[in-house]
Amino acid sequence: MNDILYSPWRLQYILSNKDEECIFCTKPSEEKDKKHLILFRSNSCFVIMNIFPYNNGHLMVVPLKHVPNLNGLNKDEINDLFGTVQLCEKVVTKVYSPDGMNVGMNLEKAAGAGIDEHLHVHIVPRWNGDVNFMSTIGGTRVIPESFEQAYSKLKEQFDNEKTEK
């Protein structure tokens, strides 16, 4: 007999009407950071929590400029993007103390980008043994922390980092 594991949170995303507009353009323009889980803004990019995370603390760094790949950014925007990625590594390490971290991007649809028209960098904290039977066999992730709790902890640390500079 096969056991069935459910992940109803994915169905909401699968069945939802996909916005015609780019969420990475509309969300920061509304200036409702807490509602949209935006944690930090720099000169040319912002940090947002992933609402379909692989692990607790899964963040994305997104340029404000709507471009599909790195070639669409100038040198200052690239420096800001990766300076913000570096800040995320520092914040996530302080808040979650992971054993490691995945940092990466999927450029274009063929590479696996879910939102292929707007470049973004994933920061995913990892712990020894975090890939278990739930994700490997069942295709289900267990995220034990609410978005509200994670937002509060991460936002506080991003704010602390701004004042420490």
pTM, to two decimals: 0.79
Residues 6+ apart with CB under 8 A from 130: 55
Q: Cα torsion at 83, 85, 91, 95 (round to 10°)?
A: -170
The CATH architecture to which 22-164 belongs is 2-Layer Sandwich (3.30)
Question: Is 120 known to be catalytic?
Answer: yes
> From CA 99, how far away is CA 127, in angstroms rounded?
5
Q: Which residues pair with 63 in a beta bridge?
A: 45
Write down the domain spans for the chain: 22-164
Catalytic option among 58, 118, 120, 122: 120
In 3D, which of 161, 152, 164, 165 has the Cα closest to residue 33? 152
Kindly report, residue by residue over 8-45, the tens digit of the pLDDT.
Answer: 555 555 566 656 788 999 999 998 999 999 999 999 99
More confident call, 41 vs 109: 41
> From CA 15, how far away is CA 31, in angstroms rounded?
27
